[in-house]
Amino acid sequence: MNSKNLRLLALIVMISVAAWIITDYVRLGHMTVSPIRTGLLIVAVVLLLVARRRQ
């Protein structure tokens, strides 16, 4: 994958996790911590770093 595709994938992951967090906040009324969401955000950051490295 080239850097543009990696950045796009990272953006999609971040937006989906943000939507998931907002949905839980609206449904439950408070913020929850989830290891899955934390892991997905870490993966997105790693993808951004790899994309920057490939430029």
**Full residue range of the structural domain in which residue 17 is found:** 3-54
In this predicted structure, the answer to whether residue 31 has a pLDDT above a threshold of 90 is: no
What was the pLDDT predicted at 27? 93
What was the pLDDT predicted at 33? 82
Please give the tally of structural domains in the chain: 1
Q: Distance between CA atoms of 2 and 9, rounded to whole angstroms?
A: 11
What was the pLDDT predicted at 49? 93
Model's pTM, two decimal places? 0.83
Would residue 47 be called left, alpha or beta, if left means φ above 0 and alpha means ψ between -120 and 50 degrees?
Answer: alpha
